[in-house]
Amino acid sequence: MATAHVAVDRAGKFRKVCCILERYDYRPSGLIPILQAVQHEYQYLPEEVLTFVATSLDLPPARVFGVATFYAHFALEQKGKHVIRICDGTACHVKQSLPILSAIHEMLGTSEKQRTTVDALFTVETVACLGACGLAPVLVIDEQVYGSMTPERATALVDDIKMQENTGDSQAAGATVNGEAHVN
């Protein structure tokens, strides 16, 4: 349920898209700088904004989608505030990284297809080999490496972050950790 504040924010951004389009005179040839400016505003390219841009420039949406997916800089999915990366390289895999992945998916309601939580707090990804095989299984949250993980420890970690977020104490989020398993 969006609060008015969020909605006003969205309307403001939408208005900014209109400004960007005006700045480029609605020229279809300006599609790439337009998308760059829109992404700067939204941090990614939402589908409905892309469709709106397409209609405004009198371009088929498939063409705008084609351009947006061609260039590496354009992101079509919003990542959550905290990115959780679970290593699925051989060593971690053998040490049961997948149950950890499942546990986190279950806890956050995410999946392989839907990697970001609805409240945009977390994105869950798998990566191949972070080079910390001695500490397998390994997971990384926001650039901080945690080793010797288990499903319980992993979900506890995520829980901590959630609590910090709820109390608005974002600086402390992710700081509590099981001592010996924490590696920088």
Partner 1 sequence: MRGVRHGLQAASRRGSLAVKELTQPTLMIDGKTVLIEGERNLLELVRKAEIDLPTFCYHSELSVYGACRLCLVQVDGRGIMGACSTPPEPGLKISTTTPEIREIRRIAVELLLANHDQQCPTCARSANCQLQMLAQRLGIRKVRFKAVHAPVPIDDSSPSLIRDPNKCVLCGDCVRMCSEIQGIGAIDFAHRGHDVCVTPAFNKLLGDVECVNCGQCASVCPTGALTPKPEVDEVWALLADPTQTVVVQIAPAVRVGLGECFGLKPGEITTGQIAAALRRLGFDQVYDTSFAADLTVIEEGTEFLKRKTEGGKLPMFTSCCPGWVKYAEQYFPELLPNLSTCRSPQAMFGSLIKAMAPEQLKVERKNVKVVAIMPCTAKKFEARRPELGVDGDPDVDHVLTTQELAHMIQSAGLIFNSLETESFDMPFGFYTGAGVIFGNSGGVMEAVLRFAGEKLKGSKLDRIDFQEVRGESGLREASVTVNGTELKLAIVHGLRNARVVAEQVRAGKCDYDVIEVMACPGGCIGGAGQPVTTNRNARALRTKGLYEADKMQQLHKSQDNVVVTECYTKFLGDIGGEKAHHLLHTTFQSRHRILDEVLPLMQAHGSRKTKVSVCLGTNCYLKGSQEVLNTLLYHVQATGLENQIDVRAAFCMEECECGPNAIVNGEHVHQCVAANVIEILENSIESEDKREK
Partner 2 sequence: MSINDGLIQLNEPSKPHDGQTAMRRVILCAGTGCMANGAMKVFERFRKEIDRVGLNVVLELRPEAGDRDVRLSKSGCQGFCQMGPLVTVIPDGILYTKVRAEDVTEIVEHTLVTGDVVDRLLYKDPATRRHCRGLEDNPFYARQDRRVLRDCGFLDPEDIHEFILHGGYSAAKKAYLEMSPEEICKQISESGLRGRGGGGFPTGRKWEAARMQKPGKKYVICNGDEGDPGAFMNRSVMEGNPHSVIEGLMIAARAIGADQTLVYVRAEYPLAVERMKRAVIDAEREGILGSNVFGTGLSLKCDVMEGAGAFVCGEETAMIASIEGRRGMPTPKPPFPAQSGLWGKPTIINNVETLAHVSRIINEGPQAFRSIGTPESPGTKTFALTGHVANTGLVEVPFGTKLRDIVLEISGGVTDDAGKPMKNGFKAVQIGGPSGGCLTEDHLDLPLSYDSLRAVGAMVGSGGLVVLNQRTCMVSIARFFMEFTQRESCGKCVLCREGTKQLLALLDDVIEGRADAGTLDLLEKLGRAVQVGSLCGLGKTAPNPVLSTLRYFRKEYEEHIFEKRCRTGRCKALLKPEINEERCKGCGLCIKSCPTGAITGDKKKPHHIDPDLCIKCGACATACKLQAVEGV
Which residues bind to partner 2, rule: CB under 8 A? 27-33, 35-36, 63, 66-67, 70-74, 90-92, 94-95, 133-134, 136
52 is in the binding site of which of partner 2, partner 1, none (Cβ under 5 to 8 A by kind)? partner 1
Contact 83, 90 (CB under 8 A): no
29 is in the binding site of which of partner 2, partner 1, none (Cβ under 5 to 8 A by kind)? partner 2
User: Which tokens sit at 139?
Assistant: 């997971």
Rounded CA-CA distance 88/168 in Å is 32
3 is in the binding site of which of partner 2, partner 1, none (Cβ under 5 to 8 A by kind)? partner 1
Task: Mark out the alpha helices in the chain (DSSP H runs).
Answer: 4-23, 31-42, 47-56, 61-70, 90-94, 97-108, 151-166
Least distance from C-beta 97 to partner 1, angstroms? 23
Rounded CA-CA distance 174/88 in Å is 21
Per CB under 8 A, does 69 bind partner 1? yes
- Cα–chain center distance at 166: 19
User: Which tokens sit at 148?
Assistant: 């010797």
60 is in the binding site of which of partner 1, partner 2, none (Cβ under 5 to 8 A by kind)? partner 1
List of residues contacting partner 1 (CB under 8 A): 1-4, 7-8, 10-12, 14-15, 18, 22, 47-48, 50-52, 54-56, 59-66, 69-72
